[in-house]
Structures are given as structure tokens and as C-alpha cells.
Structure 1
Amino acid sequence: MEYYNYLKSLHLIFVITWFAGLFYIVRLFVYQIEAAKMPSPEKEILQKQYKIMTYRLWYIITWPSAVLATIFAISLLCLNSGLIYADYMQVKFGFVFLLFLYHGKCQQIYSQLQNDNIKYTSGFMRLWNEGATIILFAVVFIIIVKDALNWIYGVIGIILFSVILMLGFKFYKKIRERNQS
């Protein structure tokens, strides 16, 4: 158990860098999609640069962080296997599963954009970017609070937070559209 806190610290560091990568990669997706609508030669210059940036972020920071966070999480669970049965951990595992799905979808979008296959709008990507935020809020509150009743309220709070984010996004979109007119 002497190494438990070191493993926990490393797990947390790589979770943070994983989320940083997820937050920024989707932002780069927005820029890549918007660059595709620009006139030449600006379009080609920006697309080339964004492909390099997304490649480096995805494969040098985001993927390694996801793998290392997972390895350290499994190590922690091996050292303290009783955590697996805690109610709050079951809920956390659900959100971590959603995080892996989110990461997988980002991989798919990344691959499409690297091949100049644009299937989503920049508006969708701005909204998609909030997915990682919602998962992060949920996991942090579940892990810190742990009390069943409080994390149930926390999940309800996350849903309300999501609704507020969506409304804020729509409000911001209207302001942007008005300013472009």
C-alpha cells in the first residue's frame, strides 16, 4: 500500500492530460471544419497545419494519457479491489465507459478529418466539445462526494448543467449569427 498514493497521483495526472487532449482536439476539429470553407490558398495552408497539430495532440498526448490513466486505474483497483463494489464506483465506471465511447467517437472524427471527409458542422463540434466537460463534472462530483443521495443529486445537477450548456450554446450561436449579419 506504500505505492498506492503514488499510483493515485499518476492516475490523476494522466486523467488530467487525457481530458486536456479531448478538450483541445475537438476545438481543433472546429477549426479544421471552418478552414475547409475558406478560399485557396488559405484553406490548404490551414488544413495542412491543423492536420499536423491534431496528429501530434492525438497520438503524443491524448492516446498515451488515456492508456496510462487506464493502466494506473487498473493498478489502483488491484491494490484496493473493494472499491469495485462501492455504489459510487459503479456509477463512476458508467461515466468512464461513456468517456471511452466519447474518445472512440473522437478517434472516428479525427480519422475522417485527416482524410478530408467532413461529416459534421463546426456548430455540432462546439456542442460535442461539451461532452467531455459533462463527463468530467460527473466523475469529479461522484468521486469527491461518494454519498449515494448526494451523487444522485449530483447526476441530476449534471443533467441540469447540460441543459444550461445547451441553452448557452444556442444563445451564443444567435449572438454570433447576429454579429455576422
Structure 2
Amino acid sequence: MYTYLKALHIIFVVTWFAGMFYMPRLFIYATEAGDRPGNERDILRGQFAIMMRRLWYGITWPSAILTLILGTWVMVNGKWDRLLFDTAGQWLLLKLIFVVFLYVYHFTLHHIFRQEMNGIYKYSSNQLRLWNEGATVFLFAIVMLVVVKESMSLVYGLGGIVLLIVALFAAIKIYKNIREKGGQ
């Protein structure tokens, strides 16, 4: 039973991340649709709103809830909770801290989602591109912690995350420069 729970937990983590990767893209598309003429803008934003609602309420939120339920169940059934404050379980404690921040990130996406559903496009497409990389950073941090566990040095792990963030921001900056030069 434990392995089935673990497999389901991983499946819902993947679908949750899929939603968190795609949702900011839809925010970007809806924001950029604001540059289109009136009728075209309204049609595009209407279609993006439908896509956002279906993704957010049909996949992302259910996956976030099932990830939490199944993850807790896996932790208790696997007796991982006994390791949390032990030296051997420091990786798990750090992972759970990242998971808490991941849920905070999820709620920030929900906040932006609600704004856009109300016709409020507060952020530029470039700001949303930067925000889009939050899920990537969490994915790297959490997967690394789970896979390499205590063999990973905290200093090297944090250094790797900082390098990842720098690389992602540099890629976004390069992409922005290419778009501006190409007139797109």
C-alpha cells in the first residue's frame, strides 16, 4: 500500500507542477493580449480566462490538495516523521520548508489568477516571466533534496540554487533583448 501512496503522491506532484508551470504562461498571454485592438483583445482574454479557470480549478488546485494529503500519508506510513528532527532527517525538514514556500508561491499564483479573472492586469509580461521561474527553482531544490538526501552539502545545494536563479534571470534578460531587437 505504501508504494501505491508514494506513486500517487509523485503523480500529483507532477500534475501540480504542470499547472504551476503553465498558469503564469497564460497570465503572460492574457497580459500581452492587452496590446491587441479592442475586439481581438476581448476575444483572446476571454479564451485565456476559460483556459486559466479549467487549469487552475480542474488540475492545479486538486493536485495541490492531493499532493498535501498523500505526502502527509506517505510521511506517516513510511515513518519519515520520526526523522524530522534527527540528524539523518535534516534533508526532510529542509524539503518540507521548501514545500511550505512552494504552497506560498501557489497562493501568489492564485492571487494573480483572481486579479486577472476580475480584469486587473497589474503585472507586465516581463514581471510574470520572472515570477514564472519560481516553480522551477522549487522543483530543483525539492528534487535534489529528495534524491541526494544527506549526501548533499547545504552550502553546495544553496550555491546551486543561487546559480540556477542567476542563469534563469539571465536567460529571461537575453530573451527580452532578442524580442525587443526583433520587434516582437
Q: Same fold (TM over 0.5)?
A: yes
Quote the residue 1:116 is aligned against. Answer: 119
Secondary structure of the corresponding residue to residue 153 of structure 1: helix
Equivalent residue, structure 1, for 2:182:
179
Match of 2:164 among 156, 161, 166: 161
After superposition, give the CA deviation of every residue in 1:121-168 in whole Å (9 maximum; x if it has no partner): 011111111000000000000100012543541221011111111111
1:131 match: 134
TM-score, normalised to structure 1, is 0.95
**80-89 vs 45-54, greater mean Cα deviation:** 80-89
Does structure 1 residue 25 correspond to structure 2 residue 28? no
Unpaired stretches in structure 2, ≥5 consecutive residues:
none
> Are 2:110 and 1:107 equivalent residues in the alignment?
yes
Pair 1:60-2:58 in alignment: yes
Matched, 1:15 2:3: no
Percent identity over the alignment?
Answer: 45
Instruction: Give the whole-Å Cα distance in 1 for the aligned partners of 2:62 and 2:53.
Output: 13
Show structure 1 runs of 5+ residues with no match: none
Shift of 1:118: 1.0
Q: TM-score, normalised by structure 2?
A: 0.93
Deviation string 1:79-122 (CA, Å, 9 cap, x unpaired) is 11224331001110111011001000000000000000111001
User: What secondary structure sits across from 1:109 in the alignment?
Assistant: helix
45-54 or 151-160, which deviates more? 151-160
Please say if residues 28 and 54 of structure 1, whose CA atoms lie closer than 8 Å, have aligned partners that are also in contact: yes
- In structure 1, C-alpha distance between the alignment counterparts of 2:93 and 2:5, rounded to whole Å: 20
- SS across alignment from 1:116: coil
How many angstroms apart in 2 are the aligned matches of 1:61 and 1:149?
33
Which residue in the other structure is 2:84 paired with? 84
Amino acid aligned to 1:93: L
Cα deviation per residue 1:46-72 (whole Å; 9 max; x = unaligned)? 011000000000000000000001000
1:49 maps to which residue? 47
Whole-angstrom CA distance in 1 between matches of 2:64 and 2:49: 21
> Aligned-pair distance for 1:11?
0.4
Give the residue type in structure 2 aligned to 1:138.
A
